[in-house]
Structure 1
Amino acid sequence: MPANPKYLTQSKTQRFAKITAAILGGYFVSVSFHLALTSWFNRPNIIITMTFSAFILWVALMIVAFLAKNGWKIWFLYLGLSLFFLGILYLGQNYNPVAP
């Protein structure tokens, strides 16, 4: 049974924003989150955990992107979260340096 057209996104730009936010934005958020964790916790454990949990988080963020009304707001949210996690990564590398 096909989807009801009234529930589908009519605008091409909104559709493009949702698709790119789901794929790229969700990936950026999930990877930056796990990289931020590596700067504060045991790196090998986080990397091993990342192989599974990053994929699950990425899929969840894809679903959120398609449930949103406005694709550009989701893009700004995902970019903001990515920058936040990268800031935590930066602070973790400065205040919690890993011994070589």
Structure 2
Amino acid sequence: MPANPKYLTRSPWLRFSRILAGTVGGYAVMLSLHLLLTTVFPRENVLATAFFTGYILWALLLLGAFVARSVWKVWLSYAGLTLLFSLPYLIS
């Protein structure tokens, strides 16, 4: 059964922006969260669990980019979360 056309994005640029926000932005948030965890926990433990939790978190953030109504809110939230998570690592 095909998708209802009224729910599909008409602009190819918005579709490309969603794909880019989900892949690159989601990866940046996932990476910065694990950098934040290295300031709290030993690096060896974070590295060992990052193999599993990193992929799951990245997949959820990728899905979240397509579920959200506005791609610009996704970009802003992913950029804000990346900055928020990476500040403690950059300060120390």
Structure 1 position 72, deviation (Å): 1.6
What's the counterpart of residue 21 of structure 1?
21
User: SS of the residue aligned with 2:33?
Assistant: helix
Alpha-carbon deviation of 1:5?
Answer: 1.0
Stretch deviating more after TM superposition (20-29 or 7-16): 7-16
Give 4+ residue runs of structure 1 displaced > 3 Å after superposition: none
Q: Deviations over 1:63-97 (max 9, x none)?
A: 11000111121011101100101102224xx2xxx
Retained in 2: the 8 A contact 1:18–1:72?
no
Give % identity.
47
Q: Count matched residues.
A: 92
The one-letter code of the counterpart of 1:87 is L
Secondary structure at 2:9 match in 1? coil
List gaps (5 residues or longer) in structure 2.
none
- Matched residue, 2:83: 83
AA at the equivalent of 1:34: H
TM-score, normalised to structure 2's length?
A: 0.93
1:19-55 deviations in Å (ceiling 9; x for gaps): 1010100000001100110122111001000000010
Q: C-alpha root-mean-square deviation of aligned residues, in Å?
A: 1.1
The aligned amino acid for 1:73 is K
Q: Distance in 1 between matches of 2:6 and 2:79?
A: 29
More helix by share: 2
Cα distance in 1 between the residues matched to 2:9 and 2:89: 36
1:63 has 2:63 as partner:
yes
Give the TM-score of the pair, scaled to structure 1.
0.86
What residue identity is the alignment partner of 1:44? Answer: E
SS in 1 for 2:40: coil
